[in-house]
Amino acid sequence: MYGNGSLIQKYQEQAVNTMSRGEQIVVLYDEVIKNLKYASMLIGKGDTQTAQKCMKKCRNILNYLVVVLDEKYDISKRLKAIYSYMIGQIVITEATGDASRIDAIIPKLAELREAWSEAEKSLHTHGSNSNPLPGHTT
């Protein structure tokens, strides 16, 4: 019999494996936004060690999003520049302990997340689930 942790992990893997590419990207944005907000709060409370872990997770996700960009789309170049800028802001925050830089990119990430979410909804509305969203190849 599986332990509760194992069952939860299997459920989470199943959920991710059944998501569309667009849905996966939205979840990644959610994770970055959540962790940046948490890191900002932790920095404010003086817990830089835990904040560093949150920011590292965000850098890893944004680096992943850069790697999976499909260069055949013009938007990919813009997304790469945006992600690179955000990674830089996170690195500066890690170095300085000043959360204002990550606070400033959270609304931008929320806008990108909303755009991906709307694009994903549009694909489902038009019955074209098999076509990936332009930009990412996940």
How does pLDDT run across 61-75, given as a tens digit for each residue? 999 999 999 999 999
Residues 61, 31, 88, 21, CA torsion sign: positive
* 75 three-state secondary structure: helix
Radius of gyration over every alpha carbon of the chain, rounded to an integer in angstroms: 17
CA 60 to chain centroid, in Å, comes to 9
Q: Is residue 17 exposed (0-12), middle (13-18) or buried (19+ Cβ within 10 Å)?
A: exposed
CA 71 to chain centroid, in Å, comes to 19
* pLDDT value for 107: 98
Mean pLDDT of 14-36: 88
Domains of the chain, first to last = 20-125 (1.20.120.340)
